[in-house]
Structures are given as C-alpha cells and as structure tokens.
Amino acid sequence: MTGLTLTADDFERLRDIRATQPDFITHALSRRKHRDLLGGDGRLFIIAADHPARGALGVGSNPTAMANRYDLLDRLATALARPGVDGVLGTPDIIDDLAALGLLDGKIVVGSMNRGGLRGASFEMDDRYGAYTVDAMVQAGIDFAKTLVRVNLADPGTASTLQATADAVTRAAAAELPIMLEPFMSTWSEGRIVNDLSTDAVILSVAIAAGLGASSAYTWMKLPVVDDMERVMASTTLPTLLLGGDAGVDPDETFASWEDALSLPGVRGLTVGRTLLYPPDGDVARAVDTAAALVHPIHDAVSH
C-alpha cells in the first residue's frame, strides 16, 4: 500500500542511491538540519519503527504487516509530514532510508541500539547490541539513543544485557548523548517472552534500569501506560516518554489512556509506532494527528 506520500520515483531514487552513492546517506545524515531536543512546550512526539530488526513484523492479527519496506517507509513519510511530529526512532537501515529520502531535516532522530534478542529465539533475553553504537551515533549526528532493557530474573541472559546497557549509558553520558531506556520485568511463558505490565512490575523495572551506568545525567525512560501511572511516575525523576505498544481493541480508549498519563509530572511525550502507523481504519494521518494533539497543544502543533 504505497502512494500515501511517496511515489515510485522516490523509491527508484532510493534504490539508486543505495547501489551507486552510499556516501550520500552518510552526508545526508551528518548535514541535515538539526533542532533543539525539546521544542518550546518542552514535549516530544516520536514515531517508532525499530520493530522489524527484532523480527517483530506483526501488527494486530496480521503477522507480516511490517514486512513490506516500501509500505512502511510510505507510512513513516506520511507521519513525519504531520504537524507536531518531532522525530523518528529506528535502526540504521530505517534511518538511512529516511535520510536518503530527505525526510529527516529538522527532526529528532533516535537510534535503536540492541536488536539481538530476536522475538521467539532461545537467546531472546541475551539482547545483544547489534545496531547503533554511541560512537557511531555521535559521528552521524544522531540526536538520541534508545535501548530495550528486559529483566528476567529466571534467565541468565539478562546479566549480559544489563552489563551492555550500563556500558551504553556510561558512554552516552560521556558523549552528552541522551539515552532512552525501555525497561520491563519479563518472564518465559510457553516458549515466548511476556512482559509484566502490572504497576508494581513496571516500578521495579524502572528502579533497576535507572541505576545502570556511571551517570544518569542523560538517561530518559520509555514506559508503558499501565494502571496507576501516578505511582509509576512517582518512582523516578528521570524524564519519561510513554510508549504506545500494540494497538488496542478500542483506539479511543487507547488515546484516552495516553491523554491521562501525559498530564502527569515527569512525562514529556509519546514514542509510538505500530498503533499509529497501522491504525484499524488505515488512516495514518488522522491517527498521528490525534496523538500529536495530545502531546502538543493544537496551536503549537500547527506551527511546530
């Protein structure tokens, strides 16, 4: 389903750049127009698209929704063009595509670091850092780093993930690069990893993740919206973005839960992907606009 924003000519040019001018991508990233991390209202709205590199291609009942890269890029281009969208989160392949297409000027670019814990793998908890590094992001002019921190007390693979995350936080702080940690308490259930979304579990995950690294000066949190978010946000002083997760049965109910959580002290905005890129009615622009209006006041979103 291409054609929302990008054309066949855009994709032909992208393929040519990748085949014949790979240095164009490097230059496009490093020379793009930058902006302050936070806008005038001190809030952020980031579109997330780092799921495919973990082998997570499904959305709702469609197990291969994100498999078509052209369709995904078209949806991302549509989202990034909407008022109030501050930036995008992705792995290098996604970010490089968007840079080559000229879609990142004036946007916050968030680089995803650990993609080694592939969905469904026996080694899923040993979540190796196989994508961006702090040094590479600094060199490329990436604005923000992101890591997933799943803590499984029954799986020894968690130990190496925690150590790698601590090292990443230390390096990011030394480079003055903001780094966003997405923590969960996780367990194995019938051969797959399940994240505990109870309030107490989220609070415990925050406590563990916040202490990683030699400095927390540049650490942010990326947290799910769960019951009793007041208690969750009382567990940390770190700036926090809310994650969207999978699309719910009732989009209106999902948006309402985000709106309530966005009013809490410490919450600085949203980082949402599949829920907005693949809405039930297929209208990406409308879904993104609805979320943008929650993060930024309407009068700010229009001029953002």
Walk along the chain (304 residues) in steps of 10 and give the mean pLDDT of each run: 79 97 94 90 95 87 90 96 96 97 97 88 89 96 96 93 96 98 95 93 98 98 96 98 75 87 96 92 93 80 46
CA distance 262 to 46: 14
Bin 266: left if φ > 0, else alpha if -120 < ψ < 50, else beta: left
User: Strand 179-189 to strand 144-151: parallel, antiparallel, or no bridges (unpaired)?
Assistant: parallel
Nearest residue to 247 via CA among 277, 223, 269: 277
- CA torsion sign for 31, 67, 11, 276 is negative
pLDDT for residue 117: 84
Predicted TM-score of the model (pTM): 0.92
pLDDT for residue 54: 86
pLDDT for residue 1: 44
Q: What's 52's DSSP letter? A: G
pLDDT for residue 192: 87
State the Cα angle at 47 between 208 and 121, rounded to 5°: 55
Contacts of 74 (CB under 8 A, 6+ apart): 1, 2, 3, 4, 5, 6
pLDDT for residue 247: 58
Q: Domains in the chain, please, with CATH?
A: 8-303 (3.20.20.70)
pLDDT for residue 124: 86
